[in-house]
Structure 1
Amino acid sequence: MLGPHVMRQNTNMRQAIPPDERVAVAIMKLASSSSLRYVMNQFGMAACMVGLVTHEVCQLLNEIASNKMICLANLQQITDGFNKKGFPNCVEALGSTHIPMLCPAGRGRAFTNRKGYASVILQGMVNHWGCFMNIYSGRAGRAHDAHTFRNSPLTGLMAKGHYAPRVEETVICRVAVPTVTLADAAYPLKSWLTKPYGGNVTDRQKLVFNYCLSSYRMAVGYAFGRLKG
């Protein structure tokens, strides 16, 4: 699929890197935490070329292959999965984490998060298995989760019915409830996004609803843990 897009012409100066080798370089770099120098030695090419080839293949995967290769799980399977864990009519869990980085010169205040180190924010939405369904990154670590959420494409995508159609409702205690996404208290409350009770809450609200929501939002935490691991 990618071959025609990564094909290069041979020149009098050197032979072009074959398409299958370009893809193999990118796969090896993406599949491990190996350095550019390690991959360079395996394929006999310059480190800068390894970086360029990996970036090129990643762009092509996003532009050409993602819609053909990445399929979201069956909606009913996801809602059934969350329901078995104790939270009905849920289709996703949403959260964010900080990815450490070297602070850009002169911008330490913007990128230093509340824990005191420089980072960018990664917002992720996962299903009940902890598989990522949507990601958004790049906001400076000092930004609030709600600010990151408002500026991400996710709100527009959800309004258009991506990831879960908003027409399916379940009657719970005689109330028609739409499918929802679980989030923590930092996020805004929306028709498709639910979060813990805030302010003065009863013991029942705190122990039942908030506890269940927080417990099954941990799918996001597990997904981030595996990613960082």
Structure 2
Amino acid sequence: MVSMKKAGFPNVIGCVDGTHVRIQAPEDDEPSFVNRKGFHSVNVQGICDQNCKYLMGLSFKAAFRPSSSVNSGESLFTNVSANWPGSCHDAHVFKTSVGIHLQDQYTSIEQGVVLGDSGYPCRPFLLTPFRQPREQREHNFNRAHITTRCTIERTFGIWKQRFRLLKTGIRMRPDRACKFILACAILHNIAMMLKEPIIDNDDIPEEQPMIQPYMGQQDGRGIRNHYATNFFS
């Protein structure tokens, strides 16, 4: 699970976000690959945790297994999806990829949650920030959420620094570029497990508190309010 040391956010099994990897303009369906910033890209979704092995498939039962072969605080990808052109929204990528598996596997709050930014829909298994926080507990929730969620941004940064083409651009057809991106994600995890040097190493995971059972309505907003009330009041 993601560390509570900095933010105090409990029961987190991963953080999700999207990042754009620049590619050359494709011959087929070229407009679809133009992202909101105006360049051609693949929208890559990543989910990371600090002590997990890379898995192409993700489920609550199998995906999040601690690995003793990795240094504490080193973030690995637990899921990567590189199948969508740059014009696709992050929420659509999530819904049509790992979101399907999480929806099928989710039964209760004790299984944990994934954290995503406001571009994603709030679901029982995917918590997003309060858009307009009013109470102090909601502000506290958002602060802890952002601090914890930056783990995926840091992982993307390390990944792109290790494989410079992910920053400068891949001169391949989209189908080959997607395979190259997935290979880089696998190699990133291998490098982490082999303890290759990284930028820093200051996120030490610690034991998380027991989450209280939730008997309310099983929707994203209900779960989010339960977290805000019990941990951030």
User: If the length of structure 2 is used for normalisation, what is the TM-score?
Assistant: 0.54
Displacement, 1:103? 1.4
State the aligned residue count: 137
C-alpha distance in structure 2 between counterparts of 1:87 and 1:190, whole Å = 17
Displacement, 1:196? 0.3
1:111 aligns with 2:33: yes
Check conservation: 2:109, 2:124, Cα contact below 8 A.
no
* TM-superposition CA deviations, 1:167-225 (whole Å, max 9, x none): 562xxxxxxxx511111001111111100001x32162563111211111111011111
C-alpha distance in structure 2 between counterparts of 1:166 and 1:179, whole Å = 10
Check conservation: 1:145, 1:186, Cα contact below 8 A.
yes
Partner of 2:75: 130
Q: Which aligned pairs between 1:3-14 and structure 2 lie closer than 5 A? A: none
User: Which structure 2 residue ranges, 5 or more long, are not aligned?
Assistant: 51-73, 162-233
Q: Residues 208 and 138 from structure 1, CA distance in 2 versus in 1: closer, same or farther, beyond 3 angstroms? A: same
C-alpha distance in structure 1 between counterparts of 2:153 and 2:27, whole Å = 31
Partner of 2:94: 149
Counterpart of 2:122 (choices 189, 212, 215) is 189
C-alpha distance in structure 2 between counterparts of 1:167 and 1:158, whole Å = 12
Displacement, 1:82? 2.4
C-alpha distance in structure 1 between counterparts of 2:101 and 2:113, whole Å = 14
C-alpha distance in structure 1 between counterparts of 2:103 and 2:96, whole Å = 14
Check conservation: 1:166, 1:179, Cα contact below 8 A.
no
Q: Residues 201 and 167 from structure 1, CA distance in 2 versus in 1: closer, same or farther, beyond 3 angstroms? A: closer
Partner of 2:5: 84
SS in 1 for 2:4: helix
C-alpha distance in structure 2 between counterparts of 1:186 and 1:131, whole Å = 23
* Matched-pair identity in %: 30
Check conservation: 1:82, 1:89, Cα contact below 8 A.
no
RMSD between aligned residues? 2.0
More helix by share: 1
Q: Identify the structure with bigger relative contact order (alpha carbons < 8 Å, sequence gap 6+).
A: 2
Partner of 1:4: none
| Structure 1 consecutive aligned stretches of length 4 or more whose deviation exceeds 3 Å | 165-168
Q: Residue type of the partner of 2:113?
A: V
* TM-superposition CA deviations, 1:128-152 (whole Å, max 9, x none): 3421001111211011111111111
User: Which structure 1 residue ranges, 5 or more long, are not aligned?
Assistant: 1-77, 170-177
* TM-superposition CA deviations, 1:18-56 (whole Å, max 9, x none): xxxxxxxxxxxxxxxxxxxxxxxxxxxxxxxxxxxxxxx
Which of structures 1 and 2 has the bigger CA Rg? Answer: 1
Check conservation: 2:16, 2:45, Cα contact below 8 A.
yes
User: If the length of structure 1 is used for normalisation, what is the TM-score?
Assistant: 0.55
